[in-house]
Structure formats: structure tokens, C-alpha cells
Structure 1
Amino acid sequence: MQKLIETIVKALVDHPDKVRVTAEDRDHQIAYQLSVHENDIGKVIGKQGRVAKAIRTVVYAAGTQSPKRILLEIND
């Protein structure tokens, strides 16, 4: 799942080398923390959060086979 998130986000940003995805396993969920360069935050979030919502939709759809709930958190 981390590779999927990295692949999607690296295509969107100006600084793909600064994209970092870490996973945190919680009780009934897996939380992925996405960190990008400070100048690329707007590109990842998009107007009114549309790009972030689209990324989350793809990630959640890919995680439907997982017994745990998938969360994607974007850090600024």
C-alpha cells in the first residue's frame, strides 16, 4: 500500500524525493502518514481537497481486501 501511495503522490509533486509514507498499525486500522515538501502540500490537497479525496478513494478501494480499516493522513 505504501508503494501505491508513493507512486500516486510522486507523479503530482515537484519534489518527489521528499515524499515519505510511513505506516502505523493500530487496533483495528492501519494509518498511513504522508509527508511531502512544504511547497507541494497544495498540490497534494488540491482545490477544496479534491485531489486528497481522490487519492484516499483509490487507497481505500485498494485496501478493501484488508481486514483492517485503512486511513491516509496528510501531514503538513
Structure 2
Amino acid sequence: MSDDLDDFDDDEIDGNRLPAATARAVLEYLVRQIVDDPDAVEVEIDERGRRPTLNVHVAQGDMGRVIGKRGRVAQSIRTVVRAAAARDGVEVEVEFVD
């Protein structure tokens, strides 16, 4: 797993590291492992609110896989990603967008 995450640690904007880069990398890795179409997974960072929000977009048929029964998979993903964000010293929100 760490080899896959190393690819995402180099995300930069104007020479600065993206906010919540570790959280974004972990989120993208987890969602890609769950869905049928990993190439359709996109994670956007929205910094307009009080804390950064990571918006996840997946292929049409994969949203149910990401949400899971009673939202348990989604909640588990949020928990792991928030823990990863602590490494960056930030708090994040995770939203699954249609």
C-alpha cells in the first residue's frame, strides 16, 4: 500500500504541497480499491469552508459500493481519511458526490 501512496505525496500547487495531501491520497487509494471502474474515481479539494472538503466522484454504478449498506463503508472511509489528515495537521470532511 505504501508504494501506491508514494505516488500521491508529490501533489503540488505552485510549488507548495496540497492541503491534506495525505488524506487525499489515502481517500483515492481506498475508493479505487472498492469500485469496479477505478479510472473514473476523481477527488477534488474544496477549501471554501471552515475545513477542506474532499469531494469524491465515481462512475454511475459504483456509488452504492462506496456508500455500502446503511452507509457503513462510507463512514469507515471517512474515519480512515480523517486519521490520515491528522498527519497533515488538518481536519477534513469527505463528501461522496453523484
Larger Rg: 2
The alignment's TM-score, normalised by the length of structure 1, stands at: 0.90
Question: How far apart, in 2, do the equivalents of 1:59 and 1:70 lie?
Answer: 8
Instruction: Give the partner amino acid of 1:13.
Output: V
Uncovered stretches (5+) of structure 2, i.e. residues with no partner? 1-22
- Indicate yes or no: 2:36 matched with 1:14: yes
The offset of 1:4, in angstroms, is 1.1
Question: How far apart, in 1, do the equivalents of 2:28 and 2:69 lie?
Answer: 21
The alignment's TM-score, normalised by the length of structure 2, stands at: 0.71
Question: How far apart, in 1, do the equivalents of 2:90 and 2:48 lie?
Answer: 9
Aligned pair count? 76
Uncovered stretches (5+) of structure 1, i.e. residues with no partner? none
The structure in which a higher percent of residues are strand is 1
Question: How far apart, in 2, do the equivalents of 1:34 and 1:27 lie?
Answer: 16
Give RMSD over aligned pairs.
1.4
Same amino acid, percent of matched pairs: 38
- Larger RCO, structure (CA 8 Å, separation 6 or more): 1
Moved over 2 A (4+): 64-69
